[in-house]
A and B are shown apart, each in its own frame.
Chain A
């Protein structure tokens, strides 16, 4: 089993977090969150991967054919749906923020409180 996909997952997670932490634009921060989420896709798919396996569609194939794990594919699909929902909602909030304040820079909001 290759170590590469796990390293990529860790890298995506960290680089996405770095983007969120240093972000000066809410839309950019939302995209960075999607990058963080991509790391979970890579991790899930890497865990279910079979070298030389086919897609897990068991129709017209001999019994015992190697296939990748369909469970992680299902988890990844669910994860993608969740990601789309969260991104859409966050972008809507960012649009509203821009309409009210005329800015998307999180630094400008430090003073909004109290």
Chain B
């Protein structure tokens, strides 16, 4: 099979090291070109792996240390379509972000390119790894480069503050993950996921296994920014340079959920099988709260990147509800939704970056009416808002339709209502911002500041447009839903995964998903349209009236004001507060798990 699986990690790491070495002599443009070419190569390699993994799992043992008599000795990459798909998404987003950086940065050192490539290598390794400790190492690799990238604009106090909070909170999360890994190793003597699953499958979960699960769950929830572990996210994502934000919002948050799904279905689905019902309730609750808190906070923002950061939290919550159904159908929908949503978020971050570059601000009130000469950017933002709302034919719609179907089958049809509300909230925030910035609605135009005049440069518009086109393509490729469900069915099949890794059993094997009928489900399309219309109404309404008028309006404003103020003051970006919430959240999840696991 060759060394193909190792290349998407090795290539960016080597190029990053070479760029650091060449830093004194290499000029800006060659460094840009090398970085873009490398990221594109990684995306291509990951896509090749995705195609290969679609035929059956690809297992690669480093140094040829294959298992002996079913015991894993070495370190493996175990590649399935879900992991390879996320890695491909990361490669595509990194390529787009680096192309975007071409023009976005006035001056940038090669250190930036190296950090981006190391970051990408970490993400890819994390997605492909079949070994729990290696997942931790790649998790740290991607996190450390992410902290450095978040604080890259050292001249901006907010950026430094966001990076510090990001780094400290996420490091605590990483130590929780490591403690969980240590406990699992102490119980089973294994670090390979398949081996761990086999060792724990023999009996029901005892207290040690539940505690290990809790530690991993909380650690990965910190990375995914599930409420109440989300307080670090807005500052880090909003203050990072926009191209970095494209990668953060596009793929990093989803990685936490991916990791949880991976360890659940390879390790814990055996011992926790009897408690799946209770676990489902806990995860669904976390997803619903995250989706709603993120959505409401999103609507409260005037700062465009912060608005997108809260939209990211909200959509991670939605993805979590799909995953929380703990079945292949829900997981397939969640994966499809996460990938399409990641592409749209990347595109929206790029569009906001264009606004920032040409108008010198990301505050929608300071930008009112000043975006009239950026018609293409305006179009992309509005299309992106519709994509976030899950309007057909965007891939987000297909993902949501699958999740709704799975939720209905599991007796949770009310999730459709949540999807409508969250889609309306986030779309409303974006459409309101677009109405203000590009149409000048809701007040006199703001005073212009000194910034490069338009029109936007193609190296900035093209990534935004192509990422959006990618999200459309995901919704339009015929038969994709069926393939994703098949991949999800394999992802959730623990014995087949273990056989593929430890015995080298290849071939599709395991459960076959029922083939999904092609074409669009009509029912969900109605809900998606409703969400978009609600979003439009909710977004435009505050622009068309000057102040809350009449008794009812004032009463509503009086009721709402303290809630909004409380939410805002909670999200103050203080490091101690976000770590306190981490501890509180861990205690809460610990209590809930103790209640539901018998």
Which A residues contact B (CB, under 8 angstroms)?
Answer: 9, 13, 17, 20-23, 26, 29-30, 33, 36-37, 39-40, 43-44, 47, 71-72, 75, 78-79, 82, 85-86, 89-90, 93-94, 96-97, 100-101, 106-107, 109-110, 112-114
Interface centre among B133, B144, B161, B172 (most CB of A within 10 A): B161
Q: Which residues of B contact A113 (CB under 8 A)?
A: 158, 161, 235, 572-573
14 additional contacts, CB 8 Å, given A78-B137, A112-B161?
Answer: A21-B576, A21-B579, A21-B583, A23-B576, A37-B171, A37-B175, A39-B179, A47-B185, A79-B178, A85-B140, A86-B140, A90-B168, A109-B161, A112-B573
Prevailing SS type, chain B contact patch: helix
A97 touches B161 (CB 8 A): yes
Q: A37-B175, A97-B164, A113-B573 are in contact. Are A71 and B191 (CB under 8 A)?
A: yes
Given A20, A37, A93, which contacts B163 in the complex, CB threshold below 8 Å? A93
B158 touches A100 (CB 8 A): no
**Residue-by-residue, is B225-251 near A (CB-CB < 8 Å gives 1, otherwise 0)?**
000000000010000000000000000
> Is B167's beta carbon under 8 Å from chain A?
yes
> In the complex, how many angstroms separate the beta carbon of A56 from the nearest chain B beta carbon?
14
Q: Which residues of B contact A17 (CB under 8 A)?
A: 172, 579, 583
A89 touches B167 (CB 8 A): yes
Q: Which residues of A contact B483 (CB under 8 A)?
A: none
B179 touches A40 (CB 8 A): yes
Interface centre among B144, B157, B579 (most CB of A within 10 A): B579
Please report the C-alpha to C-alpha distance between residue A39 and residue B175 in the assembled complex, in whole angstroms: 9
Please report the C-alpha to C-alpha distance between residue A110 and residue B575 in the assembled complex, in whole angstroms: 10
> In the complex, how many angstroms separate the beta carbon of B246 from the nearest chain A beta carbon?
22
- Per the 8 Å Cβ criterion, residues 541-583 of B in contact with A are 572-576, 579-580, 583
Q: A47-B182, A94-B164, A112-B157 are in contact. Are A36 and B576 (CB under 8 A)?
A: no
Q: Which residues of B contact A43 (CB under 8 A)?
A: 179, 182-183
> Is B160's beta carbon under 8 Å from chain A?
yes
Given B157, B158, B168, which contacts A33 in the complex, CB threshold below 8 Å? B168
Q: Which residues of B contact A114 (CB under 8 A)?
A: 302-303, 306
A21 touches B175 (CB 8 A): no
Which B residues contact A (CB, under 8 angstroms)?
Answer: 133, 137, 140, 144, 147-148, 151, 154-155, 157-158, 160-161, 163-164, 167-168, 171-172, 174-175, 178-179, 181-183, 185-186, 191, 235, 302-303, 306, 572-576, 579-580, 583
Q: Which residues of A contact B574 (CB under 8 A)?
A: 106-107, 109-110
Please report the C-alpha to C-alpha distance between residue A18 and residue B466 in the assembled complex, in whole angstroms: 47
> In the complex, how many angstroms separate the beta carbon of A37 from the nearest chain B beta carbon?
6
Q: A71-B191, A109-B161 are in contact. Are A96 and B168 (CB under 8 A)?
A: no
Q: Which residues of A contact B144 (CB under 8 A)?
A: 82, 85-86, 89
Give 12 CB contacts A-B under 8 Å: A9-B179, A20-B579, A33-B171, A39-B179, A78-B137, A79-B178, A90-B167, A90-B168, A97-B160, A107-B574, A109-B574, A114-B302
A21 touches B148 (CB 8 A): no
Q: Which residues of B contact A89 (CB under 8 A)?
A: 144, 147-148, 167
B157 touches A109 (CB 8 A): yes
Q: Which residues of A contact B171 (CB under 8 A)?
A: 33, 36-37, 86
> In the complex, how many angstroms separate the beta carbon of A60 from the nearest chain B beta carbon?
24
A40 touches B182 (CB 8 A): yes
Please report the C-alpha to C-alpha distance between residue A110 and residue B144 in the assembled complex, in whole angstroms: 24
Please report the C-alpha to C-alpha distance between residue A96 and residue B140 in the assembled complex, in whole angstroms: 22
B182 touches A75 (CB 8 A): yes
Please report the C-alpha to C-alpha distance between residue A44 and residue B306 in the assembled complex, in whole angstroms: 39
Interface centre among B171, B181, B573 (most CB of A within 10 A): B171
Q: Which residues of B contact A47 (CB under 8 A)?
A: 182-183, 185-186
B573 touches A75 (CB 8 A): no
Please report the C-alpha to C-alpha distance between residue A84 and residue B575 in the assembled complex, in whole angstroms: 20
Given A39, A86, A100, which contacts B154 in the complex, CB threshold below 8 Å? A100
Q: A23-B576, A86-B144, A113-B235 are in contact. Are A93 and B160 (CB under 8 A)?
A: yes
Please report the C-alpha to C-alpha distance between residue A86 and residue B175 in the assembled complex, in whole angstroms: 12
Please report the C-alpha to C-alpha distance between residue A101 and residue B235 in the assembled complex, in whole angstroms: 17
Please report the C-alpha to C-alpha distance between residue A113 and residue B303 in the assembled complex, in whole angstroms: 10
Nearest CB to that of A88 among chain B residues? B144
Q: Which residues of A contact B168 (CB under 8 A)?
A: 20, 29-30, 33, 90
A93 touches B151 (CB 8 A): yes
Q: Which residues of B contact A85 (CB under 8 A)?
A: 140, 144
B164 touches A26 (CB 8 A): yes
> In the complex, how many angstroms separate the beta carbon of B238 from the nearest chain A beta carbon?
9
A82 touches B583 (CB 8 A): no
Q: Which residues of B contact A23 (CB under 8 A)?
A: 575-576
Please report the C-alpha to C-alpha distance between residue A26 and residue B182 in the assembled complex, in whole angstroms: 29
> In the complex, how many angstroms separate the beta carbon of A12 from the nearest chain B beta carbon?
10
Please report the C-alpha to C-alpha distance between residue A44 and residue B180 in the assembled complex, in whole angstroms: 10
Please report the C-alpha to C-alpha distance between residue A114 and residue B573 in the assembled complex, in whole angstroms: 11
Please report the C-alpha to C-alpha distance between residue A110 and residue B172 in the assembled complex, in whole angstroms: 21
> In the complex, how many angstroms separate the beta carbon of A99 from the nearest chain B beta carbon?
8
Q: Which residues of A contact B167 (CB under 8 A)?
A: 86, 89-90, 93
Q: Which residues of A contact B182 (CB under 8 A)?
A: 40, 43-44, 47, 72, 75
B185 touches A71 (CB 8 A): yes
Please report the C-alpha to C-alpha distance between residue A89 and residue B151 in the assembled complex, in whole angstroms: 10
> In the complex, how many angstroms separate the beta carbon of A53 from the nearest chain B beta carbon?
15
